[in-house]
């Protein structure tokens, strides 16, 4: 393949098209040669945004070696079913039938004539200790790949959302990575993730004076774009910086050097203005029964919990809720409310004053770094949106890793 030819991308378990979005956001030239998904809602959202490359509603179990050879992908991106490995699930691993399609594909990978040159895989934290992961690494070894594993959260890129995920990058030998690989699962990015105050050109071999990591211009530009260009309001980060800094890191006026992970933006930059708040307020029953289990944040918070597919349906461990009324102190309110029994109307009255609401689907998408051009169809319900978003990926994290993989 010559450098001016687009990469042939095969997207498995495509969901709502997160991997496709990441490829597009990376700026690489690519052609989707195959995309597979069986969830009807996910297919609807995907086709709404990518009408020219609608995934085939087929099970990967129906794939053959001949099919894979015919597609001849250069780049394979996938996010296999995570339920067999989640902390809230049964963790049946290889014994879970939802793993069968992935096992099947690993067999195909060993048999195909022209395996993909690049592989990017995403899954939940916990996959790294699974037997399925061991099978994956054994397959990559047999197929002559080199690889690196990561456990990465968007917080490390300055996004106020905890979504720790397992990632694997693999290159077909003799292709080499732009960083030194190891057998350990890395918990940091292998290149500089500090954001510059000015978008100046740098030698690709340059090293960041702050984090001592190699500077990859494409990743630096991506992070700069996210933190400065994509958000309409004035960045609070900008006010802290010395303008026209000549170094590839953030410099505070106190001369303390901080990386992107230490300069997380507040949630307000990801919120939607003028929403119909009544549509997202927590129900009275949820407030009275489960109020103490809620993870409550507000617009100035610089964190939020991982949003799962059960958001708005289940309470514990599915994502944060937002305090809309900031005139009321949340700690004082709960202290007063706890003086009353759960079924006491006075307790409910106190909690209602907080105006606790769910993040809207669009706000969840914003925190997962979906770009402004990506739209959720108006025909699907909020519950459906939460479910498919909960199964999707963080675009900024995956795009950054994709650029690292392909460099």
Same domain, 156 and 281: no
The C-alpha atoms of residue 223 and residue 205 are separated, in whole angstroms, by 19
| Buried b / exposed e along 349-381 (16+ C-beta atoms within 10 A) | ebbbebbbbbbbbbbbbbbbbbbeebebeeebe
Domain that holds residue 116: 7-190+393-406
pLDDT band at residue 135 under the 50/70/90 scheme: very high
Rounded to an integer, the average pLDDT of 171-185 is 96
Same domain, 162 and 32: yes
Q: pLDDT digit string (tens) for 20-44?
A: 999 999 999 999 999 999 899 999 9
The answer to whether residue 192 scores a pLDDT higher than 90 is: no
Q: What is the pLDDT of residue 246?
A: 33
The answer to whether residue 254 scores a pLDDT higher than 90 is: no
Q: Which residue has the higher pLDDT, 115 or 130?
A: 115
Q: Confirm whether 297 is domain-assigned.
A: yes
pTM: 0.89
Q: What is the pLDDT of residue 290?
A: 92
Same domain, 165 and 33: yes
Rounded to an integer, the average pLDDT of 390-403 is 97
Rounded to an integer, the average pLDDT of 273-284 is 95
Same domain, 173 and 38: yes
Same domain, 348 and 398: no
Residue 130: count of CB within 10 angstroms of its CB: 19
Q: Confirm whether 309 is domain-assigned.
A: yes
Q: Residues of the chain with pLDDT > 90: what percent?
A: 68
Q: Confirm whether 174 is domain-assigned.
A: yes
Q: Which residue has the higher pLDDT, 271 or 238?
A: 271
Q: pLDDT digit string (tens) for 326-368?
A: 999 999 999 999 999 988 999 999 999 999 999 999 999 999 9
Nearest C-alpha neighbor of 290 from the set 324, 308, 313, 307: 313
| Buried b / exposed e along 246-277 (16+ C-beta atoms within 10 A) | eebbbbeeeeeebbbbebbbbbebbbeeeeee
CATH number at residue 286: 3.90.120.10
Q: Which of 36, 82, 194, 306 is catalytic?
A: 82
Q: What is the pLDDT of residue 225?
A: 83
Q: What is the pLDDT of residue 259?
A: 65
Q: Residues of the chain with pLDDT > 70: what percent?
A: 83
Q: What is the mean pLDDT of the chain?
A: 86
Output the six-digit token pair for 15: 């969901």
Same domain, 310 and 183: no
Confirm if 15 and 82 have CB atoms less than 8 A apart: no
Confirm if 14 and 38 have CB atoms less than 8 A apart: no
Q: Confirm whether 134 is domain-assigned.
A: yes
Q: What is the pLDDT of residue 251?
A: 34
Rounded to an integer, the average pLDDT of 125-147 is 94
If one counts the domains in the chain, the total is 2
Q: pLDDT digit string (tens) for 364-396?
A: 999 999 999 999 999 999 999 999 999 999 999
pLDDT band at residue 94 under the 50/70/90 scheme: low
Q: Which residue has the higher pLDDT, 45 or 205?
A: 45
End-to-end CA distance of the chain: 15
Is 82 tagged catalytic?
Answer: yes
Same domain, 44 and 149: yes
Lowest mean pLDDT among 158-172, 194-208, 316-330, 336-350: 194-208
Same domain, 169 and 30: yes
């Amino acid at each position: 393949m010559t450098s001016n030819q687009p990469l042939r991308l095969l997207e498995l378990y495509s969901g709502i098209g997160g991997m496709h979005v990441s490829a597009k956001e990376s700026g690489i030239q690519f052609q989707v040669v195959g995309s597979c998904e069986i969830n009807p809602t996910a297919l609807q959202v995907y086709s709404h945004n990518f009408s020219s490359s609608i995934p085939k509603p087929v099970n990967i179990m129906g794939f053959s070696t001949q099919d894979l050879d015919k597609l001849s992908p250069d780049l394979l991106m996938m996010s296999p079913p995570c339920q067999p490995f989640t902390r809230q699930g049964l963790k049946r691993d290889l014994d879970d039938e939802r793993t069968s399609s992935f096992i099947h594909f690993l067999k195909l990978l060993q048999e195909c004539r022209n395996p993909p040159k690049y592989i990017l895989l995403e899954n939940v934290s916990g996959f790294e200790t699974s037997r399925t992961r061991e099978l994956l690494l054994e397959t990559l070894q047999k197929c002559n790949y080199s690889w690196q594993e990561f456990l990465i959260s968007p917080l490390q890129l300055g996004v106020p959302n905890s979504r720790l995920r397992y990632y694997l990058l693999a290159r077909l030998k003799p292709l080499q990575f732009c960083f030194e690989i190891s057998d350990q699962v890395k918990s940091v990015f292998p290149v500089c993730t500090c954001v510059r105050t000015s978008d100046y050109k740098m030698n690709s071999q340059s090293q960041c004076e702050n984090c001592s990591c190699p500077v990859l211009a494409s990743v630096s530009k991506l992070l700069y774009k996210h933190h400065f260009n994509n958000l309409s309001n004035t960045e609070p980060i900008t006010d802290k910086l010395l303008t026209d800094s000549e170094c590839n890191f953030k410099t505070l006026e106190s001369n303390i050097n901080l990386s992107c992970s230490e300069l997380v933006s507040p949630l307000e930059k990801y919120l939607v203005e003028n929403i119909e708040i009544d549509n997202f307020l927590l129900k009275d029953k949820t407030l009275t029964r489960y109020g103490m289990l809620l993870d409550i944040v507000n617009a100035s918070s610089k964190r939020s919990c991982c949003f799962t597919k059960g958001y708005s349906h289940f309470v514990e461990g599915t994502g944060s809720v937002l305090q809309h009324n900031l005139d009321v102190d949340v700690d004082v309110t709960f202290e007063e409310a706890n003086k009353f029994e759960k079924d006491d109307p006075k307790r409910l009255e106190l909690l209602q004053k907080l105006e606790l609401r769910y993040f809207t689907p669009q706000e969840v998408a914003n925190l997962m770094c979906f770009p402004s051009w990506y739209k959720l169809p108006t025909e699907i319900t909020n519950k459906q949106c939460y479910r498919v978003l909960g199964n999707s990926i963080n675009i900024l994290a995956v795009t950054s890793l994709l650029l690292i993989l392909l460099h």
